[in-house]
Each structure stands twice: as C-alpha cells, then as structure tokens.
Structure 1
C-alpha cells in the first residue's frame, strides 16, 4: 500500500511541477493578468516525461526491527514516467485548469479550484537499491545492487476535479476531491517481481478496471485530504466499487489462472462511535 501511495504522490507531484513552470511576466503583464476578480490559469501540455525519481531512506531498516536490518541507506527508484493526455479531456483542451480566489471574512482562505484532464501514466521498472552519501546529497547505487520490484505499470485516469483551501478550510478539509472520473480507473501491464534467491518469478495482471458499483465507465473520486500533526490523512473510498481483474498469471506470462471479478467493495470507519463511509489512510514518516 505504501508503494502505491508513493506512486500516487509522484504522479501528483509531476502534474503540480508543470503547473509551476510558467513563463515569467513583467509588472505590466502581471497587472493585466491579475487585475480581475481572482486568477485563472490554464496549463497546456500534451505530454510530461520524467527519466527517474528517487525516494531515499537515509537510515534504512533498523537493527531493532523485525526482521532486523543493518540500517543501511536505501532508495526506491521509478524510471521512465510518462504522462500523456487521453481522450477524457477538459472542455478547455488544457491539461489542467486552475481558478484561484482569496475569500475574506473572519476566517479568510485561499481557494484553488483545479480540474485535471484524463491521463495515461506509464512507468518503467520500479526498483530498490543501495544509496550512498548523506542528507542533501544521497546518490543511488549502480546496476550491480539494483533489485526490481515492479517491472512495469500503466494507469489510465478520467478527468478529475479538486478544491484546495489554504489559510482556513471551511469545506472541512485542505483538499477535497469531488465528482466522478469519467471512464473509471484502469491499471494495466502490472508485473510484480519476486527477486528473492528462491523466486525470480512474477505475478502478472493484464488489467484492473475500477468503477462504481453497477456502472462500467464511472468512478466516484470523493476524498478528503488533511495534513495533521500525525501526517497526511486521507479519507477515501466512500462509495461501493466493482473491480474486474483480467489476465492474472503466476510465475510467468504462460501461467495464467484466468480473470477475477470483485463486486461492490465498501469500506467504513468509526467517527464518534458511528460507522462512516470511507477508509482512513494515514501517511507519515518514522
């Protein structure tokens, strides 16, 4: 789960980094742009490519952990990340649109309404490796110590919307994901590698399609995201979902066991003693 969460975060960072990569404007141009009620920003890009992303763990696995580690620095690496706009486009034709307003009153806040087009996200191998150096200057090891975790992964998303409130958050969360993802969510070309001494096989999946229960092309993405003193808190999966897993194989691509269909998956958590729809995911460092 942590790995897929990191992948989800890496994808979000890739989009946001391009949102910030705007051409500088002089004072006159800036005044002309912002001399209205609020600011609208459109980001046009057909493709974003990242050669490699490294996530360093400076203190490795502690010797007091179970099983015990040696506290050696390590790194998770994701190679060849490509984000391409797909058919689930925004009406503007942009990759992303932002509408920014500052609300006053007794609890002022900055409101950012974001719309992101549907994207196909492909990733090359995801690996774990040794790392050398120190904080601020870690370096990933070479091919000799690199071990593959995932051989490949492709995500296909529909258009999504999010509302971000900073300063105060009367909507109840810093980030609220709302609406439905047209086309649902598809994960394809998934291959999980067993790189242990006795392994060397893989678990393969041709595709996983996730939609709202009873539909074939829609996925509700309602989620609330807050940053608490304990870490990042996400409340998601508030509605029932169906999953169709196609072409599951064990050991090698030739060892297919068939397709798997899972219907009406629901989650709930307790709030003040009452069951509330959705699962709570907390992400923190240690």
Structure 2
C-alpha cells in the first residue's frame, strides 16, 4: 500500500509540473534566468491529506465461467456483476521520526536532457517524499452500478468488510523518474532506505461469510533489511506492453509478526512469527518480478 500511495502522490506532483512546463516553451537558458539555475525545483508543503472514500471499480465483476488458475474447475459465485473495493477515511500525515530535512511533504527536481549524442532526449524527475503515517478505517467490497447517461460507476448499498482499521508507518522515500527515453534502465527507480523499516499495526482480515464472522488479527508487522533496522526501497518500475512491471524485494529481509490472534481481538494470541534472511530471486537476478495488468 505504501508503495502505491507514495507513487500516486509523486505522480500527481509530476503531472502538475509537466503541465506547467507545457504552458510556454523554455530552454535551460530561459529557466536559468527565471529560477537562478538550470532546471526546476519544487518544494511541496502539505501537513495532512484526508480522503473520505476511495473506490476502485471492477465494471464486469467475476465471470460466471471463471476457472481456478491452472485448472478447469469453475469458481463458484461469479455473476458478471460490477463491484468495488472501498477504502474509508484514509489519512496521511508526516512521520516526524522520518521527515525530510526541508520540512516539506515532497521535494522534486526536474531537468530535461538531450541524451547521448543528442539522440535520446528525456525528462528526469527526482523526488523525495517524507515518511508517512497512514491510517484508514477499513476496506470493504461493495456492489456497483453504471449510470446509463454518464457511464460513470457508482457504489451500491451492499457491502462486506474485508479489513478493519489499519495503520502504517513508512520512512522517507526517494525516487527517480525518466520520461521519454530511460537511460537509467527503467521509467521509475526507487532507491534509498525507509528509516526504521515498515511498520503495520492492527491488521485484521475479516471472514464475512455466513459460516464465519471471525477475523485473523495481526497486532504488528515489522519489515526491515536483514542486519539493519531500515528497509531498502530498491525497486525498478517499467511500463511494458503487458502492463506495469516492478522488480522489488532485492535485498535480504526480516519480517516479525507480533500477536497473532484467530477469532477476535478478545482471543488469546497463538504467539509471534519471525522470518529471518528472506531472499527472493527471479530468472534475471535478485528480487521478485511483479506484473500488474487488467483482465
């Protein structure tokens, strides 16, 4: 979640900046006269972001002929009906323990480069985003309908709770984005470390079925690099013809899950879980290759 949230925020700032550049043609000499140096620097001061509802719609739902991956067995329940994932009361504030030295929510630098021998131009966008406290009241799944006039999706009244309240703490993040050509080898490269690692609190996965009603509750999840209290953010992001491709988890990682409960918050904990030295590789080298696409 953290990766997507930060990427969304950075992308929004990038889009604003790109449109601003498009208002008037300016070369580096003109930019230097305007800003005192070549390129553009942006400091974005935000203390808090609140979103009442965030909906992600699936316009055609699960096919009534959908099968299990690698099998011909039909999945029970598919109706081809539209649905939505709903995140309620999302709030982002600065994690003061991992803030940027500037005090800004994000610092962004933008430069244009002609590329090698002037034949492969690109825009380079460097971004640093402060550490964040991320809180949300829960995640639900809803039915959805499409307006016949506007073709816009709308959330229906039926809902089921997937996750109860959740909070995350992230460290400061740095990213470099190249648009046009990509001499760095990927459109987006995340680098640096999340100071203090990633911390997820009060994760509660709910079984809303008629035969269930209970929850899997994880009091705290702490993720950091092996032999370090911080978490490396080394990730490459590329947009391919098959979808969004991410190469992540390239370093050895430790995961500690504290207070695992099955049933409810009143249930006794079955104990803690620790994973040390987790190393993931793919055919090309360290890390997991993740492709995100529609279907």
TM-score (norm 1): 0.89
Residue 219 (str. 1) matches residue 228 (str. 2): no
**Which stretch shifts more, 255-264 or 9-18?**
9-18
Contact 1:85 1:120 in 2 (8 A): yes
1:13 to 8, 28, 33: 8
User: Quick one: distance in 2 between partners of 1:15 and 1:199?
Assistant: 40
Q: Which residue of structure 2 lines up, in the alignment, with residue 249 of structure 1?
A: 261
**Which stretch shifts more, 132-141 or 67-76?**
132-141
Residue 40 (str. 1) matches residue 32 (str. 2): no
2:152 to 117, 137, 159: 137
**Cα deviations by residue, 1:224-258 (Å, 9 ceiling, x for unpaired):** 00000000000000000001111111001122112
2:108 to 95, 98, 105: 98
Q: Which residue of structure 2 lines up, in the alignment, with residue 67 of structure 1?
A: 75
Which secondary structure state, in structure 2, belongs to the residue aligned with residue 149 of structure 1? strand
Which secondary structure state, in structure 2, belongs to the residue aligned with residue 141 of structure 1? strand
User: Quick one: distance in 2 between partners of 1:152 and 1:19?
Assistant: 31
Which secondary structure state, in structure 2, belongs to the residue aligned with residue 36 of structure 1? coil
* Residues 1:167 and 1:184: Cα distance change in structure 2 (over 3 Å): same
What is the Cα deviation at residue 15 of structure 1? 5.3
User: Quick one: distance in 2 between partners of 1:40 and 1:107?
Assistant: 23
Aligned structure 1 segments of 4 or more residues deviating by more than 4 angstroms? 18-22, 24-27, 30-35
Q: Which residue of structure 1 lines up, in the alignment, with residue 89 of structure 2?
A: 80
Structure 2 unaligned spans of 5+: 25-29, 67-73
Q: Which residue of structure 1 lines up, in the alignment, with residue 212 of structure 2?
A: 199
Contact 2:6 2:129 in 1 (8 A): no
Structure 1 unaligned spans of 5+: none
User: Quick one: distance in 2 between partners of 1:170 and 1:136?
Assistant: 40
Which secondary structure state, in structure 2, belongs to the residue aligned with residue 9 of structure 1? helix
Contact 2:10 2:127 in 1 (8 A): no
User: Quick one: distance in 2 between partners of 1:92 and 1:43?
Assistant: 10
TM-score (norm 2): 0.86
**Cα deviations by residue, 1:19-51 (Å, 9 ceiling, x for unpaired):** 7679x9999xx9775563000000011111111
Which secondary structure state, in structure 1, belongs to the residue aligned with residue 135 of structure 2? strand
* Residues 1:179 and 1:40: Cα distance change in structure 2 (over 3 Å): same
Q: What does 1:88-167 align with in structure 2 at a 5 Å threshold?
A: 88-104=98-114, 105-134=118-147, 136-142=151-157, 145-167=158-180
What is the Cα deviation at residue 261 of structure 1? 1.0
**Cα deviations by residue, 1:101-130 (Å, 9 ceiling, x for unpaired):** 001121110000000110011111100011
User: Quick one: distance in 2 between partners of 1:252 and 1:88?
Assistant: 33
What is the Cα deviation at residue 154 of structure 1? 1.1
What is the Cα deviation at residue 17 of structure 1? 3.6
What is the Cα deviation at residue 159 of structure 1? 0.7
User: Quick one: distance in 2 between partners of 1:78 and 1:128?
Assistant: 9
**Cα deviations by residue, 1:47-82 (Å, 9 ceiling, x for unpaired):** 111111101100010111031411001111101110
